[in-house]
Structure 1
């Protein structure tokens, strides 16, 4: 993809996706949004990263005592990905998980998972101090309450993180629907997960396209 570093938009070549604790046990605690909607956003984000060749780091915590394994739907998309299981709530304090991120060589990090108040915000705040640029994919993050989710987002943005959505990530990577190498996958994801926008794209394809 050409000319993707000429402005302030993110490119797939600059980013890595950090999935923090996408686990059912933590999902029970989410009250900031509908849990199925959260899972759908996580799936859309993972498939977006795969479509554009973005490295994905998958980390979990408390798998044996509370949170359980990653959501089966997430694991189905990433069957061979290493899972960096932690004791600490803060991924940045876990040597193996942190090294997996550093090893990608990417400074722009997309964070998604649970819970926004701790396992998302802690590594985001820490990686800022080391020169990384974190982006919190807010609709793919779940908080314990609507208020505490928002307060955590506010704190992270005040410190320099940026908030985005899975759809913005996809559109920012694609940018131009004439880019044929990712067109089919990107459009397919919008149709499946993009709500009314996806419905409109599907309608245009099925009803308005010339035979």
Structure 2
């Protein structure tokens, strides 16, 4: 992947950031994953990037998506793809159709968990001809070994690993622009709060 990801050619896919599922994350601090997920949502909103949200079995232990997504992205939240239990979101016809409808070849993905919710759709999207960046600090796994193996598997399949601040900088391109200055505020409020 050599193409620069921009607001004009990118879509954001947030997979299974559900209250119950997020409790499975042990490889990163949970509050960090939530802050980074919120930062991605805010970034998409500022830059008018299409967002596809999906969840799996909200009525079970996985629970609803984190409430911040409903507040920040009400339209995407209302149109979220509720999967009945399909593990790989990419093979869900409704999810894939929603992604196709964005018309974007470049996909930014984060999923909870990395080792189940993110690894399969990221690889499947690459296999279907998309450029995919997986935001590793807005995802996480129950165990270090499953996180590491999933990252290796994605990378060997052509998925590019990234972090929230790196992705935000790529999309911003210029911190002094109107949108860039807004993104800089998000960066210091959500992603780097200890430094601010």
Cα-to-partner distance string for 1:82-134 (whole Å, 9 max, x where unaligned): 11011201111111111000111111111112111111111111111111111
Alignment pair present for 1:176 and 2:174 = yes
Unaligned runs of 5+ in 1: 1-6, 200-211
Residue aligning to 2:131: 133
TM-score, normalised by the number of residues in structure 1: 0.86
Q: 1:95 aligns with which of 93, 96, 101?
A: 93
Query: Number of paired residues?
Result: 192
Cα distance in 1 for partners of 2:42, 2:163 equals 14
Matches within 5 A, 1:109-120: 109-120=107-118
Alignment pair present for 1:37 and 2:35 = no
- Bigger radius of gyration: 1
Coordinate RMSD, CA, aligned: 1.6
The SS at the match of 2:187 is helix
Cα-to-partner distance string for 1:42-74 (whole Å, 9 max, x where unaligned): 001110111111100000001112211101112
The answer as to whether partners of 1:190 and 1:198 remain within 8 angstroms in 2 is: no
The SS at the match of 2:13 is strand
Alignment pair present for 1:15 and 2:10 = yes
TM-score, normalised by the number of residues in structure 2: 0.92
The answer as to whether partners of 1:135 and 1:163 remain within 8 angstroms in 2 is: yes
The answer as to whether partners of 2:164 and 2:191 remain within 8 angstroms in 1 is: no
Residue aligning to 2:80: 83
